[in-house]
Amino acid sequence: QEQLVQSGAEVKKPGASVKVSCKASGYTFTSYYMHWVRQAPGQGLEWMGIINPTGGSTTYADKFQGRVTMTRDTSTSTVYMELSSLRSDDTAIYYCARWEVGTDDALDYWGQGTLVTVSS
Amino acid sequence: DIQMTQSPSTLSTSVGDTVTITCRASQSISSWLAWYQQKPGKAPKLLIYKASSLESGVPSRFSGSGSGTEFTLTISSLQPDDFATYHCQQYNSHPYNFGQGTKLEIK
C-alpha cells in the first residue's frame, strides 16, 4: 500500500539547521511531485514548496527562499527538506504530501508529520 | 501571491445538520481548489479536488462547488466523525496557499 514515512521528531537550537526525510513506498516515486507543508502549533497549514522527483527541480515559497532546500534520492525513493537558520517561529509539524504528475488531483497522500522544535 | 480566506473560522453545529463553509480567493483560480479534513494530531485528508470532484473513498455527503474566486464545501447530514477542521487550498499558481481553516464544533 502507498506510504509516506517521515523521520522522527527533532529538537534544534536557534540558528541551526534541520533535515527531514520522507520515504515513499507502494507507488512509482517519479510519478508524483512532492510538496512540503508545515503547521505551527494551533495554526493553519503553510505551503513551503515542491520538488519534481524526476529531475529534482524545485519551487519554493518566497518566505522560505534562501533557507529551504528540497532534494531527492531516487535510489531510495526518499525526499528531503532542509531548513536552515532556524528560529523559534519555525517550531511546527512538517508534512510531505504527494501530487500525481499530469492530473487534476491535489495532495492525495500525506506523511505522518515530523515535529521540529526550535528552542534554546 | 493568491490569498485564501475561509469563513467562518469556527462553526458550532449538530449531528444531522447541513453545513456550508466558504473559501474566497484574492484572484481567479479557475477550479483549482482542494478541500482537506484534519483531525487533531493527524495529517490532513483530501476530500475534494478541482473544486467539485470527490476523492475516492470520501462519503457522498461531502460536496464542493464554485469557480473563479468563490467556493463552498457542503457537508450534508453531519456525522459524529465529521467534527474536525477543514482547509481549502488553491493550486492554480505558486505559492499554493491554504485558507486559515474552519473548525466544526459540536453545539
The pLDDT tens digits for B30-61 are 999 999 999 999 999 999 999 999 999 999 99
Please list the residues that pair with A78 across neighbouring strands. A23, A73
Closest CA to B89 of B48, B56, B39, B60: B48
Closest CA to B62 of B38, B79, B41, B43: B79
Q: pLDDT of A50-69, one tens digit each?
A: 999 999 999 999 999 999 99
Minimum CA–CA partner of A44 in chain B: B100
Judge whether residue B107 has pLDDT over 90.
Answer: no
Q: How buried is residue A57: exposed, middle or buried, by Cβ count under 10 Å (0-12/13-18/19+)?
A: exposed
Mean pLDDT for chain B overall = 97
Chain A nearest-CA distance from B106, in A, is 19
Distances (CA, A) of A95 to B7, B79, B84: 24, 27, 18
Instruction: Flag if A106 and B46 touch (Cβ within 8 Å).
Output: yes
